[in-house]
Structure 1
Amino acid sequence: MLPEPHEDEIQFILDALSDYLCIKVRRTDVLSAWSGIRPLAMDPRAKNTESISRDHVVCEDFPGLVTITGGKWTTYRSMAEDAVDAAIKAGNLNPTNECITHNLILTGGYGWDPAKFTTIAQQYVRMKRTGDGKVAPGIMDTAVAKHLSHAYGVLAERVATIAQNEGLGKRLAHGYPFLEAEVAYCARYEYCESATDFIARRCRLAFLDTDAAGQALPRVIEILAAEHNWDKSRKHDELRKSREFLETFKSSKNAQFNKSQ
């Protein structure tokens, strides 16, 4: 069972916003709301609960057995470094160099620069039909090009190529820069195996606008089905699970969406 935000928690945040904004944020302005469970770690060597930490804890419970607990996704590199350092100490190892992961560049980062989006927009050509039936070149708008560049780095060109060559250049949801091509790309190169995975962890649309995520679902599932050879039963199951997942994002708009479905 996924945790769901309570109405009083949503209202608490809205009330707190009034201290920092010059406008009134209404309940109907909330496009998505979510809740999570944060693990708190306590060092087993501690004598009281004052050592309970919101960060991770590394300890050697038994000789040679290193345990790491707590932490969060955004500090996974630091967590790994601390765990390896503890293992080196526990095993009396002699590494040839210090940790190098803090200097590593993520996939797609080599050769990237902030102006890379202009190249993507300029090179992209999508043929589209005009009202009179003629075919005219369609360009990629700046918002989409910037999104692809910041999300995929130099690999954004791969996404743009899929959009151009496979007719997947449309946006998944109005007002958001996410393209249909991203679904195919994530399925082929980033191990995206479910619709929930895409709307929640790849494009984060579920966290930005629950209603928009719900509207994008059918197309997301259609593309993933083509990539993974899903049958009708699997597509139906994906739609059910994804809608159940979106129901946990309590907002006035997505509540209306769920009723209409």
Structure 2
Amino acid sequence: KSTIKLNRSSNLKLLKINKLTFDFIIIGGGATGLGCALDASSRGYSVILLEKFDFCKGTSSKSTKLVHGGVRYLEKGQIGLVYEALKERAILKKNAPHLVKQVGFLIPAYNFFLKFYYFLGLKFYHFISGSLSFDKPKMVNKEAALKIVPNVNENLLKGGVVFFDGQFDDSRMGIDIALSADANKALLFNYMSVESLIKENSKIKGVVVEDTLSKDKFSINGANVINATGVFSKFIMNMDSLKFKAIIRPSQGIHLVIDKKFLNGNIGILVPKTSDGRVLFAVPWLGHVILGTTDTLVNEPSIDPIPSNNEIDFILYNAQKYMSLKPTRKDVKSVFVGLRPLVAKDLKSKSKDISRKHKIIISDTGLVSVIGGKWTTYRKMAEKVIDKSIDISGLDFKKSITSDLKISNGLKNIDYSKDSLSEKFYLSENLIIYYIRNEMAINLDDIMSRRSRCLFLDIKESVFIAPKVVDIMAKELSKNNDWKKDQLKQFYKLTKIYSI
């Protein structure tokens, strides 16, 4: 293909005309699936990726937006996990500098012992990262702390520690990885649902899919089938066999988005231990502040999880303790909820004690399921999954090259001088058309939530501009009024989940 763009209809033509057999069929278009698609296609294998909803519709668009080693794992002594994540943080910053930026955090200390304790911990964090791409941590007194984060609670404050980590736009990263995989000849599809697995002689040889837009069904054959469906892994595993005992405990993490005045600067706050021993972040992001997060085990995964009042109150209660300007429910512009795919030893495991380590499970029939992990380590995870799959399927081995592979910047030629539909965030007619033509945006939600981040930043404003956006989409996609009504209805239903 000459230009890099995600073009669903030309991908469909290729699929239908050629009746292709692929080296890799990847189920799931979040961080892990997209990472696998890029890893395998850049090695030179033929790849198809099938996503039931939209790319990064699930957990992968609902992270805390950090590319980080995980300060909290240091205290638990999980140094290997932190070291790998910090190594990957440096690789991500090198390969996607347009998306991964440095963000500073103040850890406020309310006694001197903790101040030294955190400083030593973060010196070690910086030391093991061996990374020149992030600034060194520094200890600050009360006066300096208040200069850096004017709205931190100064009552009994003894200063604190400032350290630096990585920050990114998660679903934008997903789309750029998809574009990179496309440039390496991978065929990617959103709105393509895997209905069943094809088996021959007790081995998986392919999948039956339904195009959820046209309702067409077809079979796709492949040497390897990779299940990268995160919290939904069990559904695909059950298509293969009901004897899997792996326990996936979805853990719900909610985030509240508030105005940037609550930090009054571009440095965030990190509280290593809240009232129930979890970590609290206040992160500056896209001109707003994200407060998070919770860790609540849920029994059944859902594609649009709903925050509980307890979770909302828990975050506000803890944020109020550490901020002089205290956010309340009426200050919340948006709430977004993600489900972490945690791998538990047993059903009694407590969420905050379950590690984010990933697990690769290979069934007797050759289905490769990958569960767990996080955005920061998506690349390394994908490399391990593809290595393992090559090994069990007997494909000729080709080495992974993603540690030196630049990620495409899909928006690098956008003209931002065009008029925006909103004063609160940038979304122009040009950009909407671009998302449709180049980035496989199909529904209003795709544009409002994941190509742009309007829904994540401000519900009221998103509801206000939605009719204008849908008009532009309908014109570009040649859709009628019924389609527009249906799109708005679905979107307004979704906005209720994101609002308090």
Distance 2:471 2:483 in 1: 11
Structure (1 or 2) with the greater helix fraction? 1
Distance 1:80 1:195 in 2: 30
2:461 paired with 1:212: yes
Q: For structure 2, list consecutive stretches of 5 or more residues without a partner in the other structure.
A: 1-301
Alpha-carbon shift at residue 101 of structure 1 (Å): 1.2
The answer for the alignment partner of 1:183 in structure 2 is 432
The answer for the alignment partner of 1:9 in structure 2 is 311
Change (3 A) 1:219 1:73: farther
Alignment of structure 1 residues 227-238 onto 2, 5 Å: 227-238=476-487
Change (3 A) 1:218 1:7: same
Distance 1:24 1:217 in 2: 31
Among candidates 102, 121, 136, match of residue 403 of structure 2 = 102
Among candidates 382, 386, 391, match of residue 80 of structure 1 = 382
SS in 2 for 1:170: coil
CA contact (8 A) 1:41 1:57 kept: yes
Alpha-carbon shift at residue 107 of structure 1 (Å): 1.7
SS in 1 for 2:494: helix
Which residue type is aligned with residue 362 of structure 2? E
Alpha-carbon shift at residue 193 of structure 1 (Å): 0.4
Q: How many residues align?
A: 195
2:341 paired with 1:39: yes
Alignment of structure 1 residues 1-261 onto 2, 5 Å: 2-42=304-344, 53-62=355-364, 64-72=366-374, 75-91=377-393, 95-97=397-399, 99-108=400-409, 152-153=411-412, 155-156=413-414, 160=415, 169-251=418-500
Q: For structure 1, list consecutive stretches of 5 or more residues without a partner in the other structure.
A: 109-150, 252-261
Distance 2:496 2:469 in 1: 18
Which residue type is aligned with residue 100 of structure 1? I
Distance 2:472 2:377 in 1: 33
Change (3 A) 1:209 1:102: same
Distance 2:354 2:442 in 1: 36
Which residue type is aligned with residue 152 of structure 1? L
SS in 2 for 1:12: helix
SS in 2 for 1:38: strand
CA contact (8 A) 1:63 1:90 kept: no
Distance 1:225 1:170 in 2: 19
Distance 1:187 1:60 in 2: 37
Distance 2:451 2:433 in 1: 12
Alpha-carbon shift at residue 74 of structure 1 (Å): 5.6
Change (3 A) 1:63 1:28: closer
Alpha-carbon shift at residue 87 of structure 1 (Å): 1.7
Can you list the C-alpha shifts for 1:21-45, whole angstroms capped at 9, x where unaligned?
23211221110112232222257xx
CA contact (8 A) 1:58 1:67 kept: yes
SS in 2 for 1:24: coil
SS in 1 for 2:489: helix
CA contact (8 A) 1:41 1:52 kept: yes
CA contact (8 A) 1:4 1:250 kept: no
Distance 2:451 2:324 in 1: 33
Alpha-carbon shift at residue 93 of structure 1 (Å): 5.7
Q: TM-score, normalization: structure 1?
A: 0.65
SS in 1 for 2:476: helix
Alpha-carbon shift at residue 171 of structure 1 (Å): 1.4
Q: TM-score, normalization: structure 2?
A: 0.36
Change (3 A) 1:66 1:175: closer
Q: Which has the higher contact order (CA 8 A, sep 6+)?
A: 2
Alpha-carbon shift at residue 235 of structure 1 (Å): 0.6
Which residue type is aligned with residue 85 of structure 1? D
CA contact (8 A) 1:174 1:212 kept: no
CA contact (8 A) 1:4 1:248 kept: yes
Can you list the C-alpha shifts for 1:178-221, whole angstroms capped at 9, x where unaligned?
32321111001101001011111111111111111111101110
Change (3 A) 1:84 1:74: same
Distance 1:66 1:37 in 2: 21
SS in 1 for 2:432: helix
Distance 1:73 1:223 in 2: 33
- Cα RMSD (Å) of the superposition? 2.8
The answer for the alignment partner of 1:145 in structure 2 is none
Distance 2:398 2:488 in 1: 51
Structure (1 or 2) with the greater strand fraction? 2
Distance 1:16 1:49 in 2: 24
Which residue type is aligned with residue 213 of structure 1? S
Can you list the C-alpha shifts for 1:31-81, whole angstroms capped at 9, x where unaligned?
0112232222257xx9x9699643431133337543322345564433321
Distance 1:103 1:9 in 2: 40
Change (3 A) 1:74 1:188: farther
